[in-house]
Amino acid sequence: MAKAFINLSNLKTKVVIIDEVARAIRAAVTAFFGENEGSKIIDSQLNELEVDTILDTIASKDKETAEELRALTRMTISPNVITGGTETNVIPGTCEGKVDIRLMPGRTATIPLRLSRNAFKD
């Protein structure tokens, strides 16, 4: 279970920028850097390959806003809880894990289920 959680923690999910998120990123960049400088940043970097550069730039002004926007550009997978066993001197026969998965708007659970299954194969 621990190895599967590590595998899930290390997953890099695909970046997707939907229109509403692009507008939010533009608004944040303009608010923090002004119309002229903001336009330069947006025009050169608002794409799936370079959006993290924009978000890192926003983080220099407001880390919380940057991380909220970053979470809107990709599915997030956060394995958080493993429980098992009842006594310190007994090896548990089973354990349970809880994983927080946040999908992009319009996406289904197919991809995270496949990724989760693959994490347990190793």
pLDDT tens per residue, range 60-79: 999 999 999 998 999 888 89
Total count of domains within the chain: 2
- Rounded CA gap, 5 and 80, in Å? 8
**Position 59 confidence tier, pLDDT thresholds 50, 70, 90:** very high
The residue segments making up the domain with residue 64 are: 19-71
Under DSSP, is residue 69 helix (H, G, I), strand (E, B) or coil?
A: helix
Q: Determine the Cα–Cα distance for residues 102 and 80; give it in Å rounded to an integer.
A: 13
Specify whether 82 is located in the same domain as 107: yes
61 lies in the same domain as 94: no
